[in-house]
Amino acid sequence: MATGLSLSSTSNLTNGQRIFIASAKEAFEPAAPDPDLIEGERIPTGTKQWDISTYARLTDAQALTEGVDLSSVQQLATNTLQLTPAEHGILVTLSNRLIRRQGDSSVVTVAGRQIGSSLRRRQAKDVIALYDGFSKSVVGAGSAIDITHFRGSAAYLLTDNNSSFGPAPMPLHAALHIEQISDIINDLTDTSPRGTTTGFTDELLSRWWRGSDRLYGIPIFHSGNISRDSGDDAKGAIFASGALYMIVANDADVTEEDDNSLRAREYGIFQEWAEGERADPHGVEIFSDAATTV
Amino acid sequence: MVNQSLPTYEGSAPTARDRRRIVDESGRDAVLFDMDSGETGKVSLWDQVDETWTSPFERSVAMEHYLAKVLYRCSGCKETSLYENDIERHLTQLKSSREAHVDAELQRNLGENGQMGVTCTGCGAPLSMRKNQGQRHLDKINDDYRAHAEEGSIDVLLMHRYTTSPSVSMPSQTVNTFVFEGKEPVVNQENRSDSDSPARRRRRNRRRSR
């Protein structure tokens, strides 16, 4: 017989010790509000393309003189955006053995949730890509956004700059990287210029920015899928909802297909959509520093 | 529980038969296939203003809409607009802002709740003591003006915003040229400092009022 103290790891004693498997956690999916901030339409069955026309405004009516014929007539003109939906989707193939071993209630549910999130993320990124297309861009690389940029952008959008589109109609929305929102919070909680710590300043100091919070009446949404570029700058935007359009051809189509010879099951989710810019003057790109504060 | 190291297949979208082969050959229980058919038909463009790549656009939209997009740009900086007047206004503002801030000082003041702040005497903007915001406000006005003044003449360019690559040269047209007078107003660096004590500034103000 061996002599000495018996430890938890002595000889084969570990073989009798249980391992508790906790329920698996999933990587947190960032907020993807972008597709909900823009105008959306559903393309009917039997149609391949969606054209959206915008009538330009006519010139001002003229003062007339009695008895003098108004000889010039104004012509209607439109700007047209053409959108042709494209397919998007994601597949997960799970072997029957994996499903058996992991338990159907776990791995299949997780796979379903993950592919759903993935499709939504794709949709959000497609909308985010359009922010870069707005011709008006403020702040600039390496500089932090402040509330003056925000106020100026709102005023720019509401100015009647362009007879083809007119001023941007309310409501306006903003979708920004969280570091851009942090810069705005920094500006709002900087008490010294205004000499007050009450109201919104106080609220922001005691909590964080919420989706329902507004600056100059414009809700600012944290768009979790806006990425930083190599220079630590990010591209968000302030825009009227009708500046951008998304056309969807169908609801998300969830599929499940057995492959018996492979002993696997294929789970997929598919949707057809297209997105585009209808009115360039109705949006402002916010291209600003999004480097980490700490 | 999903395997943390679940591999994602990258490449062109495989057929169902290919997917089966890839799963077999991988020796894994599961393989993720990203079947975004739209991605294959997408293209990133080079933004000539930001000097960054865009996120991928639909190829047809990129070619027909974004590559055709033109805007006005100030040749002295990255200010752009859809409208020529905006660039002219930008240049006018640079000049007027500079003129208003030639003798600008940062005056210290005490807020309602006892916080110290500064006010720019050039434009009356209340500014924070933090992060040297007042000095940066004056520096920015000065630097922006100087950058344009050093150029001498500033062109308003009508240019394409996007190209397919940074090496692709797109034609641009000079629609207007503004001459910035080379002679710069001299700024008194002492007056611009926010480190002066409020007492010294008050004495100076009294002498002026006599």
Residue A173 has pLDDT above 90, yes or no: yes
**A146 pLDDT tier (thresholds 50, 70, 90):** confident
Name residues 58-117 of chain B within 8 A of A (Cβ): 58, 60-61, 65-66, 69, 71, 78, 80-83, 111-113, 115-117
**B166 lies within 8 A of chain A by CB:** no
**Chain B closest CA to A12's CA: distance in Å?**
29
Q: What is the pLDDT averaged over residues A103-129?
A: 88
| Among B23, B47, B117, beta carbon nearest to A264 | B23
**B36 lies within 8 A of chain A by CB:** yes
Residue B187 has pLDDT above 60, yes or no: no
Residue B208 has pLDDT above 60, yes or no: no
Determine whether the interchain pair B128/A229 forms a contact, defined as Cβ–Cβ distance below 8 Å: no
Among A85-89, B15-19, B142-146, which stretch is predicted with the lowest mean pLDDT?
A: B15-19
Q: What is the pLDDT averaged over residues B65-70?
A: 90
**B84 pLDDT tier (thresholds 50, 70, 90):** confident
Boundaries of every domain in chain B: 1-35, 41-195
* A134 touches A284 (CB < 8 A): yes
**B206 pLDDT tier (thresholds 50, 70, 90):** very low
Taking only the tens place, the pLDDT of each residue in A28-84 is: 988 899 999 999 999 998 998 999 999 999 988 989 999 999 888 889 998 888 889
Which pLDDT value is given to residue B112?
A: 60
Determine whether the interchain pair A114/B47 forms a contact, defined as Cβ–Cβ distance below 8 Å: no
Q: Which residue has the higher pLDDT, A102 or A288?
A: A288
Q: What is the pLDDT averaged over residues A110-115?
A: 91
Query: Which residues in chain A have their CB less than 8 angstroms from residue B30's CB?
Result: 92-95, 98
Which pLDDT value is given to residue B41?
A: 73
**Chain B closest CA to A146's CA: distance in Å?**
12
Among A136-140, A154-158, A263-267, B134-138, which stretch is predicted with the lowest mean pLDDT?
A: B134-138
Taking only the tens place, the pLDDT of each residue in B110-127 is: 766 666 777 888 887 777
Which pLDDT value is given to residue B29?
A: 66
Q: Which residue has the higher pLDDT, B105 or B181?
A: B105
Give chain B's mean pLDDT: 73
Q: What is the pLDDT averaged over residues A91-117?
A: 86
Q: What is the pLDDT averaged over residues B77-101?
A: 86
**B143 lies within 8 A of chain A by CB:** no
Specify if A16 maps to a domain: no
Do β-strands A172-176 and A218-222 pair in parallel, antiparallel, or remain unpaired?
A: parallel
Q: For residue A51, report the phi and psi dihedrals to the nearest 5 degrees.
A: -105, 130
Question: Which domain does A200 fall in, by range?
Answer: 34-54+80-289
Give chain A's mean pLDDT: 89
Closest CA in chain B for residue A25: B1
Q: Which residue has the higher pLDDT, B64 or B1?
A: B64
Q: Check which CATH number belongs to the domain holding A139 and give it.
A: 3.90.1690
Residue B65 has pLDDT above 50, yes or no: yes
Residue B195 has pLDDT above 50, yes or no: no
Query: Which residues in chain A have their CB less than 8 angstroms from residue B14's CB?
Result: none
pTM: 0.76
With a pLDDT cut of 70, the percent of chain B lying above it is 65
Residue A228 has pLDDT above 70, yes or no: yes
Residue B38 has pLDDT above 50, yes or no: no
Closest CA in chain B for residue A227: B55
With a pLDDT cut of 70, the percent of chain A lying above it is 96
Which pLDDT value is given to residue B15?
A: 61
Among A4-8, A214-218, B201-205, which stretch is predicted with the lowest mean pLDDT?
A: B201-205
| Among B1, B50, B81, beta carbon nearest to A107 | B1
DSSP secondary structure of chain B: ---TT--EE-SSPPPHHHHHHHHHHHT-SEEEEE--HHHHTEE--EETTTTEEPPPEEHHHIIIIITT-EEEEETTSS-EESSHHHHHHHHHHHHHHHHHTTT--EEEEE-TTS-EEEEETTT--EEESGGGHHHHHHHHHHHHHHHHHHHSEEEEEEEESEESSTT----EEEEEEEEPPSPPPPP-HHHH-S-S-HHHHHHHHHHHH-
Q: What is the pLDDT averaged over residues B44-50?
A: 88
Taking only the tens place, the pLDDT of each residue in B3-21 is: 445 555 555 556 666 766 7
Specify if A180 maps to a domain: yes
Which pLDDT value is given to residue A292?
A: 86
With a pLDDT cut of 90, the percent of chain A lying above it is 54
| Cβ count near B130 (within 10 Å) | 15
Specify if A265 maps to a domain: yes
Query: Which residues in chain A have their CB less than 8 angstroms from residue B130's CB?
Result: 190, 192
Sign of CA dihedral A236, A239, A243, A247: positive
> What total number of domains does chain A contain?
1
**A271 pLDDT tier (thresholds 50, 70, 90):** very high
